[in-house]
Amino acid sequence: MLSHSIRSGVASVAVLALLATLPGCGDSPTSPGINPEIVNQADHFSYQVSSIQSYWGTASYSWSNSGAQATINQACAVSAGSATLVVLDGATAQVYSRSLADNGTFTTGSGTPGTWTIRIVYDGVSATVNFRADVTT
């Protein structure tokens, strides 16, 4: 018969093994409600995701922009919560921040060419999100 301390240790290992196989809650890019279609090419970035439901999280992408500005086209339908698009230039200065509920074509501020960051911040959002960024010539 196993002693009490050995039985406790075996039980603890079994519980930890079981917990390690369970998925995290909302901490992966494929969390429920998020499955974006992304095109990430030099001077062109597009992002689309349908049927987001009550989602919180942040997604960031590196994007190569050879210009000092970008044109952003937003075509989203936000029914609850909020989502914000933030763009940082090659020197990590913020050149754009706008609610994705605002539809239209906008221009970023002037920035440093190079590797830009495109960040989407979701705050309890239910939406269809569609935007693109293109180098401004």
The alpha carbon torsion through 33, 39, 44, 49 (nearest 10 deg) reads: -20
**CA dist 22 to 10, 70, 89, 102, 105, Å?**
19, 41, 38, 38, 42
Q: Is the pLDDT of residue 10 over 90?
A: no
The pLDDT of 43-52, averaged and rounded, is 95
23 falls in which pLDDT band (50, 70, 90)? very low
- Which class is 33-135 in CATH? mainly beta
CA atoms within 13 A on the CB side of 55: 29
pLDDT at residue 3, rounded to an integer? 54
37 falls in which pLDDT band (50, 70, 90)? very high
Place of tokens 């409600």: 33
pLDDT at residue 1, rounded to an integer? 52
Integer Cα distance of 83 and 66 in angstroms: 27
pLDDT at residue 20, rounded to an integer? 40
* Average per-residue pLDDT for the chain: 84
The pLDDT of 45-65, averaged and rounded, is 95
R_g (Cα) of the chain, nearest Å: 21
pTM: 0.77
